[in-house]
Chains A and B, each alone.
Chain A
């Protein structure tokens, strides 16, 4: 490349950087339009993946009761959602699968008000139909030759698994520590795992693809789900109304039908 060409490249690169700077300046404030028209409002709700079916129902009921309001749901692992919210993702309501993730948002001052607990979930043993490995209790999961799959301790269901281990005085040697409760459930459904520890609601949602086995130690480890309106919401009243809809008798019924316990 000759001298002229090199200068040209440097110039183009500089222009590119400038362009990038301008773009990022534009995207500074989280949401420019407020959606002022009351006839056409969108409420964005971030909810833990385990709430998918229940929150779809609650959102549909909410839309039916609020004219011109549409609820946009975003489901993912609670910590994924928290990371997005911390990076400025525009949302009005957040429902977490555990208190720890809600606390992260509280610590960053991103909540409007105090979170309210709206549901509780406990662990259950899931086995493939027919229970080929003959699992009957929590102690059976500690067997050496059993293909046990659990959540990694870093995620909420894995933290609950560790507490169940302590409560039952057993020590597991899983063949895999998965990223999410859905991954554990899939390993059981496909028959790769002889047993897995998942939430009661997951067993219920999987229908006859898995069998659930209750164990007494699960009562010692209850995962509580908090919900809160977010400080960045441009429509705080509507956000608060959605929170109340979750806590209302109708909302609670949807949750209990799916297997959630009262907090």
Chain B
């Protein structure tokens, strides 16, 4: 039973989110909606966003799963500090992340200078977009998975190990299947975060159609000359986000 006042406050909270989205939908120039979102630049931006977000999410999984395992299971001096540092991008304004990336991978950055010598230039490339998205999205995966790992505990892992399973077998056959829902929601959160990435990308990667101008950057630019197109594209982004989140909820409840 929920107290009345909780329901009331909850309604205000829901409105805070739903009302702006409704206002956005109300502003859309529906008769021209399709024309607005199917322009060459819009389609290029949407495809680039989907492509880079998919690669970034994959990258998050590859490095994020081991990172979450270490944070949840390992014990060593400084692990709490490591956890705090890994989660920093959660609270950092993305533009700060962009500046930090610039001083790391930029042409005069920490690693950038060596990369430049090796003939690799990251700034202004799609790789820069992927790096920016991975940087901001990784903590979402790590925090979801670490929480799931802690909740699951190590009892089944220990049993599997005493029955003779090697550590990698335990990980793939016992640990990860047990935290599957947490892993899935972490993945979706990361993907959604990648899709919405703006600040780090515009600071670090630049903005060029088909190369670095993702959908959020295109929306920001269209606002200058064609607010109708910006609103229509915003709604596309909202729709994609709702679809992704809806999809996970369904697949989770099917478990």
Contacts and interface: CB of A to CB of B under 8 A. Distances in A.
Interface of A: 5, 8-9, 12-13, 15-17, 19-20, 77, 79, 83, 147, 149, 152, 154-155, 174-179, 183, 187, 190-192
A152 B207 contact: yes
Given A16-B15, A176-B207, A5 B1 contact: yes
A98 to B, nearest CB: 11
Interface string B4-25: 1001101110110001000000
Residue in A19, A83, A192 whose Cβ sees the most chain B Cβ within 10 Å: A192
Contacts of A19: 12
Interface in B185-226: 202, 205-209, 212-213, 217, 220-225
Given A175-B206, A190-B106, A9 B11 contact: yes
B180 interface: no
Contacts of B12: 16, 19
B124 interface: yes
Nearest to A147: B124
B221 A152 contact: yes
Contacts of B206: 149, 175-178, 187, 192
Contact of A176 (B106, B124, B222): B124
A160 B139 CA distance: 42
Interface residues of B, number: 33
Interface of B: 1-2, 4, 7-8, 10-12, 14-15, 19, 102, 106-108, 123-124, 202, 205-209, 212-213, 217, 220-225, 227
Given A147-B124, A190-B102, A192-B124, A155 B224 contact: yes
A147 B108 CA distance: 14
A83 B207 contact: no
B11 A15 contact: yes
Contacts of A149: 206
Contacts of B202: 179, 183
Contacts of A77: 224
B7 A178 contact: no
A5 B2 contact: yes
B124 A8 contact: no
